[in-house]
A and B are shown apart, each in its own frame.
Chain A
Amino acid sequence: MSRDGLTKMTKIEVVVGGADVPAVREVFTSAGATGFTGVSGVSGLGHHGYHQGRLLFNEQDALALLITVVPEERAGALLAGLRPLLDASPGVMFVSDTYVSRPDYFQ
């Protein structure tokens, strides 16, 4: 499936506390994601109220956003790993279709 010549893939975005970033990263890589983007110090209003964004001298207790894109056939494994992780700790996950121009980067 393509849109304007692009390749359809699955994008998974996860917001977790800094201390949980290594676990999410590990699930990403073990489920076959070839890379990810991390944004530390994200802020926002959520289920538990307002969360402070960037803390000047503490990266561990600030929230982080991790984004990865995988071929659809790998998304199932990744979600299977992420769901128990998020069931056991605060955090949110967004899963959506996306389109990429260089599919070989994500295979």
Chain B
Amino acid sequence: MSAAERARLRADVAVAGRILAPAWPLETFIAVNPLDGLEDRPFEQAVALAGGAFGARGTLDEGAFRRAHAEGRVTDADLLAALERRHPEALAEPGAAEILLADLLHAPPAPSPVRSLLTRAEREAPGFAAAIDAQAGKWCAAFVEAGEAAWAMPGRDAGFYAAWRALAPRDPSLPRPARRALAALPDAPEDAILAALETLAIPAGERRAYLQAHLVALPGWASHVRWRGERDGDVDLVDYLALRLAYEAALLDPTAPAPEARPAAAAPTPAERAARVAAVLGAEPAAVAPVLERLPADCRPFVWLDAYEEHYRGPLLEALAQPPAEPPSAARPAAQVVCCIDARSEGLRRHLEAKGDYETLGFAGFFAVAIRFQDLAGGAPSALCPVLLSPGHAVRERPAPGAEALAERRLAGLQALSGAEDGFHAAKDGAVAPFALAESAGWAAGPLAAAKTLLPGASGRLRERLRRHAVPDAPTVLGVQEAFSFDERALFAEVALTMMGLTGGFGRLVVLCGHGSRTENNPYAAALDCGACGGNRGGPNARTAAAILNGADVRAHLATRGIEIGEDTWFAAAEHDTASDRVTLLDRHLVPATHVEDLDRLAEDLDAAGARLSAERAASLPGAPRAASARAAARHVRARGTDWAQVFPEWGLAGNAAFVVGPRSLTRGIDLGRRAFLHSYDPAADRDGGALETILTAPLVVAQWINCQYYFSTVEPAVFGAGTKTIHNVIGGVGVLAGHDGDLQLGLPWQSVADGERLVHEPMRLLAIVQAPLARIDAIVARNTVLQHLFGNGWVALAAREQPGDPWQRHTANGWRSEIREEVGAR
């Protein structure tokens, strides 16, 4: 094959691969929109395309919406308002509202989407298609597991295609002719694909769609390979497709006649639909049919979705339109606590504010410092920043001056624990060693396992005490000066403070509070950590940012920029454990004596606020005691993270539905139910709009990924969700399989979004609420394609107002419009 043909094929594969969102490894779980590659299309079109490609639904099914209507979660008024917004022409006829309501509530539901983008093997020889999937899953698993498995895939260093090509012809499960064909494969994977496409007689014009059909057959593995190809490069989609197509060409008889296509489940006919609606209304089908013709049946789910979303959004905007319950205090706050924008922080902020004169703010939990962090133990550095960024600064943790001996003890303890753990697992995984292991350690392992299962709280506390004894805490500092130049520190400090609108009125104590989640035996632990820190705990970022903001040189620079931070202001770092709602104040050894009392008082109030939040969360956690006192409820919640059998350690970001950009006075005093991302913003402090542009193009984008991950994991758990945790097997640290083989599971497990049949996450697209000049928002959207896609194509809704007291305006294709619900009510 010529170099031009290979290059053209690579381009075709790259374009075909856009139907997949890259899937990050589980260890740094990054929420993504599984339809990320389709965001340049309207939401409805993208969903329709995904239906044919993946056989996936893009909304709840109509049965679920109808149940929500029966429960009052969607009302007739919501549905009529949605019809008015989306299909005003359908409502033009007298009586149309009643007919369309009956249609939405009673018409035969549309069948579930079925994959139409199929490979030849899928159409002609399903047995071979299953074999190709099994082979692809097997070899991908062997390759990614090689780093951790006791027996590495031979030849792995040569790359995926070369290693597989050397081994595949020896597979005795394949027929001899297929093995011969595999043995004759060319050196270059591009050539293998081109040859297979020719054998399979795929016309040039259909090539890209055909490659896509192979990619969506096992979307989990293909999505991970896409991620790996763009990062590590040890396997890419060309390698992966070469494997799949080579098997298909080797197994399939291209000359065999194609069997009859199986008919897809038929959609109800217009006559059936009209008959059902007419029967409900006691009318003649001929009388309702003309009205129904104006609302295509496949548009109904989007009407439902619109109504379902508006039932939440309308009251939320009404609540946010009210003046604050109490005017902001002019007194200096006891402390300012800056939490991550994560929806879970809203609960902590609300309960802390109730405890005293605290001011809280929201900012992306990486606190504007994109770092590669290496802790005291010196393991592999972690990228602590949103995945939209590359971490540009290597920050290392080292012993605090005078604490070197303690740090040595800590390190020795860590190494001993890690060695014991490695030894235990190596013995467990060996061929003979498990017998010896059972003899020597079984007496202890059995009772320990029983204690962890039956008394998770007590066992967790005991293990924590033992761990602290073996691995004592040691005061450390971060190498911030080495990692950042003065200019960089000055820039990050100014950007962070300007973006959150904290440019004056500093308290004596300003606490930057990152977050993470401590859970046990949870492959999805990273999904509960901070998304703004790349699926890691955010403590190191908070410590880094606090160190920068305490620097005298940085403060002197900030003063020249109009940001005066008094000498008595101290920036402290903290980390919120969202599983237990405990907040740990970090680097206490650095706190000046003058501020210790302030910090102690805050610690006490954070502890009380955390306990109240735990008790609040207990109400929705499966298995939590319902009638327990607040203290007992909090104790129960705090024990869940240490329970290795607990599949619901916390609800994470389930329920997320809004992203609010504005001062806290906009939301203070309102219980947002831990459903809103809150980013502080003061338009007056943002003279050129740069801060708002950064908020909308970064934190909002990450929040939308999270929102879409939850959304699609809920509406289509079989394709975009990871299924039930109870049968998960972790593979190579990259993902989980449901059982022992098959596709890598995408998205969130069912236990992250639902409890049995009950949905805990209400799947709604994100509503961004911004308090800023509308002209500024327009200008920002006009120069950022990503925002045009999100707002223009219906992936995120946008409401805004210039200042308190103004009505909320909705962003529509025809410009800003004031509250639509009122217009509908006036009809």
Contacts and interface: CB of A to CB of B under 8 A. Distances in A.
A51 B388 contact: no
A84 B18 CA distance: 14
Contacts of A76: 3-4
Contacts of A5: none
B15 A78 contact: no
Interface in A49-75: 49-52, 55-61, 74
A74 B694 contact: no
Interface string B711-740: 000000000000000000000000000000
Contacts of B2: 77
B693 A31 contact: no
B122 to A, nearest CB: 25
A27 B783 contact: no
A88 to B, nearest CB: 4
Interface string A39-57: 0000000001111100111
A51 B788 CA distance: 12
A77 B3 contact: yes
A44 to B, nearest CB: 11
Nearest to B388: A58
Given A26-B14, A89-B15, A80 B8 contact: yes
Interface in B368-392: 368, 370, 386-390
Given A56-B495, A59-B390, A77-B2, A90 B12 contact: no
Contacts of B7: 27, 30-31, 77-78, 80-82
A30 B10 contact: yes
Contact of A22 (B11, B190, B230): B230
B690 interface: yes
A55 B499 CA distance: 14
B155 to A, nearest CB: 22
A85 interface: yes
A27 B11 contact: yes
A31 B388 CA distance: 28
B785 interface: yes
Contacts of A49: 782-783
B701 A58 contact: yes
The DSSP consensus for interface residues of chain B is helix
Contact of A26 (B3, B10, B386): B10
Interface in A1-43: 17, 20, 22-23, 26-27, 30-32
A15 to B, nearest CB: 13
A51 to B, nearest CB: 7
A20 B14 CA distance: 9
Given A26-B10, A61-B388, A77 B784 contact: no
Contact of A84 (B8, B190, B368, B386): B8
A57 B396 CA distance: 22
Nearest to A49: B782
Contacts of A32: 3
A57 B15 contact: no
B786 A61 contact: yes
Interface in B658-694: 690, 693-694
A75 B693 CA distance: 39
Contacts of B364: 57
B782 A58 contact: no
Contacts of A52: 693, 697, 783-784
Most buried by B among A32, A49, A58: A58
Contacts of A48: 785
Contact of A59 (B190, B389, B783): B389
B156 interface: no
B785 A23 contact: no
Contacts of A20: 14
Contact of A90 (B3, B783, B785): B785
Contact of A61 (B15, B229, B230, B701): B701
Contacts of B387: 60
Contacts of B782: 49-50
A57 B694 contact: yes
A17 B785 contact: yes
28 contacts: A22-B229, A23-B10, A26-B14, A27-B10, A31-B3, A31-B4, A31-B7, A49-B782, A50-B782, A52-B697, A52-B783, A52-B784, A56-B694, A56-B698, A57-B364, A57-B388, A57-B698, A58-B389, A59-B389, A60-B388, A61-B697, A76-B4, A77-B3, A81-B8, A82-B7, A84-B11, A85-B15, A90-B785
Interface of B: 2-8, 10-12, 14-15, 18, 190, 229-230, 236, 364, 368, 370, 386-390, 495, 690, 693-694, 697-699, 701, 782-786
Interface of A: 17, 20, 22-23, 26-27, 30-32, 48-52, 55-61, 74, 76-78, 80-85, 88-90
